[in-house]
Amino acid sequence: MPTPAPISTPPPHPVLPHIATQSITRPATLDDFNAVNALHDRCSLATRFARYQAARRSLRLAEFHHLTRPDRSLTWVTHPEDHPHELIATTSLVRTAEPHTAELGIMIEDRWQSRGLGTMLAQYALAQARTISCSSLTVMTGSDNVRMLKIMKTLGATRPAIHSSTVDLTVPVG
């Protein structure tokens, strides 16, 4: 299996305020590890399964370290405006073995879902993918993950024929 191409120049990481959800998104650091796992604890089994295609309860430190390495991944955490230490979402772009392709992953705490936050995070990730020379974003999700399917359609993905319980979607990065 080929090694993923490193990200040559990390993009700028501004703090991204979300007016509709009264939240702020910022780059993740290793200092966020415990808060990210606390987010996992608060998420339902269905939410964690939708994100990972498995009922993961937490991330290992080595996994989170990989997600916060700007030469391989871009990861952001989102928190309510008035509670900076209570994470409500994570968003990641991870380089794949396919050149110029990154996999998008989003997990949002249950009580913050269905507010448009996922769409905003996906749009932000798409914009950041442009800055790191990606030509496409991919998502592997459950064929019944209506929220992610809708988000990907908003980004320009077409829904492929479903042949199993998962579906791979690709969005061109323009």
For domain 16-172, give its CATH number from 3.30.70.1140, 3.30.2130.10, 3.40.50.1980, 3.40.630.30.
3.40.630.30
DSSP single-letter state for residue 30: G
In degrees, to the nearest 5, what angle opens at C-alpha 61 toward C-alphas 56 and 65? 110
d(CA 104, CA 137): 6
Tokens of 42: 């608060």
Per-residue pLDDT tens digits for 50-67: 898 887 889 999 999 999
**Alpha carbon distance 36, 46 (integer Å):** 17
Q: Is residue 92 pLDDT above 60, yes or no?
A: yes
Domain ranges of the chain: 16-172
Average pLDDT over residues 68-85: 90
Query: 116 pLDDT exceeds 50?
Result: yes
Helix (H, G, I), strand (E, B) or coil at 4: coil
Q: Are 28 and 68 in contact (CB under 8 A)?
A: yes
Q: What is the pLDDT of residues 141-169, one digit of tens each?
A: 888 899 999 999 999 987 776 768 888 88
Q: Name the band, by pLDDT with cuts 50, 70 and 90, for residue 12.
A: very low
